[in-house]
Amino acid sequence: MIGAFLGWKAVILTILLSSLVGSITGILIMVWKGKNFKYAIPFGLFLSLGGAISLLYGEILIGWYLYLNK
């Protein structure tokens, strides 16, 4: 659905941002609460957060990334 509303470039950015934020959150929960790798965290929240960031700041982030690769 994110691709239908925001386009294919935003899907790539959304998955990247969602994975990054979800990984950081998962590591912090494991460290602070002493959970192991079997502790499940729903990924939908991070997908919606990544989609919102892509909607609001997607063009800026993509432009910044392309500028760094020149």
pLDDT at 47 over 80: yes
This prediction has a pTM of 0.81
The 10s digit of each residue's pLDDT in 48-60 is 999 999 999 999 9
Domain boundaries, the chain: 2-68
pLDDT single digits (tens) 5-43? 988 888 999 999 999 999 999 889 888 887 777 778 899
Q: Quote the CA–CA distance of 1 and 10 in Å, as a whole number.
A: 11
Find where tokens 């590591």 sit.
27
- CA-CA-CA-CA torsion sign (11, 6, 51, 66): positive
Whether the CB-CB separation of 27 and 37 falls below 8 Å is answered with no
Q: Is the pLDDT score of 70 beyond 80?
A: no
Residue labelled with tokens 């502790």:
39
Q: CA 15, 18, 22: angle at the middle one, nearest 5?
A: 140
For position 30, what pLDDT does the model report?
86
